[in-house]
Amino acid sequence: MAAETSRSNITPVKSESSNVSHSQTVGVRGPVLLQDTALHETLETFVFSTTLSRRIHTKGYGAFGHFRTTHSMKEYTKAEFLQTPGQQVPVAVRYSLASSNLGTPDTLRNVRGFSTRFYTDGGIFDLLCNHLPVFFVRDAIRVPDVISHLSPSPVNNLADPERFWSLFAKYPETTNMLVWFFSDLGTVKSLRHIRGYSVSTYVWLNAQGVRRYVKYIWIPMAGQEYIDRQEAQQLACKDPNIAGRDLYDSIAQGRAVEYELRVQLMNPEDANTLPFDPLDDTKVWDEAQYPSLPVGRMVLNRNPDNYTEQVDKLAFNPANLLPGLEFSDDKILQGRTFIYSDAQRHRLGPDYRNIPVNKQQGWSPASMVSSGDGRHIAGEIMRAEIPNPDNFTQAGQRYESFSALEKRNLADNIASELVAARPDTQRAVLRNVEQASPALAEAIKNQMPLYAGTVGR
């Protein structure tokens, strides 16, 4: 009783309503009152302050700057900001790791996203690129299955080699990506030294109504660099955020990050004579036949002031186009045009377009640019593979273009991980590789026994 009396005689501390630092309680010890709306609002604001993570490309970094047109593209597109050399528009860039969570090491073998938003007078243009020029599959209906194979096991949330390698066994079209992905280009430590490829094929429309297929390429002015598997593993332990730190520190120290934008252009009629479908995302265009043309220069010279508001809430969408910039019939690109807005609404809410970093003055659904006006299209509705898939030629050509060291590293990189898959999966993957390059398949087979004793460690 004495204790209760002494407790009630304590003079309560009064806090300003704008700086409440204690919960409302019965006496000093409590209990806490359900009526304490300040407590509820404080905790609920904290709980809901975190933006939902992206389903893919979860881990990322951002930077800001400008893009300046250096060569007029008036002959090829009526996009307003590409008409005259010297035109300059603000940009925002987000780099990301495709298959990732917030704890994924930057140097892990992965696909790096390289997405750029151009804030033009005519509206927003989003250009979504990857650091490798090809993708795993050619049809968007297969993308959820691809992501499932690249994700951790649903049983224990750990990496599952069988789950991963069954992707390459299941889809022969992944063979070209296998060669790119497991080359040393798959492991990098600096985002300032990677290329960016649109992968998908877009369309440019000029003022005369002429359409051309186009692929976009970002070239790092500091040069392209990559690391081998061993260095990637060491850096993952030493500094798992090395790429993001390098990007931020470089800009903070006044060293701008610069890229040149180039494009490959193709007459759509060429599709009738090429040995592959130019709208196939598992293919590249030969630069000897379709040389890349310079368009402009991007300079990133400003770091974010608030990561959550300026980078995490960036809501990219390949459907954010401008007059003169259109979609092609690329099946991956066509599928992506529908899902991004839904994903951003789910992640950021229905009003995501009014978040400052996504704001486009005067936007309405009518602001969206529809592709293909004036085209005449007729045909039977069906579900079918493209006529000339050619799943293996380019993969073999890519392997043959490598130096002797690059060939050894590729075989070693594949062998060191493929050895953990089931024997039937190994055989299926090697059958696909053999159709691309018997020499590469043989080199992988020869390397695999060296890693047989490491499985499960």
Contact partners, residue 47, CB within 8 Å, separation at least 6:
none
Contact partners, residue 41, CB within 8 Å, separation at least 6:
none
Which candidate, 55, 21, 1, 70, places its Cα nearest to that of 295? 70
DSSP readout, 364-379? Answer: -GGGSPPS-TT-----
Q: Contact at 8 Å (CB) between 198 and 145?
A: no
Q: What is the CA radius of gyration of the chain?
A: 26
Q: Is the peptide bond before 31 cis (omega within 30 degrees of 0)?
A: yes
Angle subtended at Cα 205 by Cα 285 and Cα 284, rounded to the nearest 5 degrees? 10
Q: Contact at 8 Å (CB) between 173 and 316?
A: no
How far apart CA 136 and CA 73 sit, in angstroms, is 31
State the amino acid at position 61 in one-letter form: Y
Contact partners, residue 293, CB within 8 Å, separation at least 6:
71, 262, 263, 264, 265
Which residues are bridge partners to 202 per DSSP? Answer: 214, 327
Question: Please, which contacts does 353-356 make with residues 24 or more away whose CB atoms are closer than 8 Å?
Answer: 353/315, 355/309, 355/313, 355/315, 356/309
Q: Contact at 8 Å (CB) between 332 and 140?
A: yes
Which residues are bridge partners to 293 per DSSP? Answer: 263
Q: Contact at 8 Å (CB) between 336 and 140?
A: yes
Which candidate, 135, 161, 167, places its Cα nearest to that of 149? 167
Which residues are bridge partners to 129 per DSSP? Answer: 114
**199 φ/ψ angles, rounded to the nearest 5 degrees:** 60, -60
- How many residues are recorded in the chain? 457
Which candidate, 392, 424, 410, places its Cα nearest to that of 165? 424
Buried-exposed string 37-71: b where 16+ CB fall within 10 A, e elsewhere? eebeeeeeeeeeeeeeebebbbbbbbbbbbbbbee
Catalytic residue among 57, 131, 149, 193: 57
Catalytic residue among 110, 130, 358, 432: 130
What token pair was written down for 72? Answer: 């007029």
Q: Is 130 a catalytic residue?
A: yes
So which residues are the catalytic ones? 57, 130
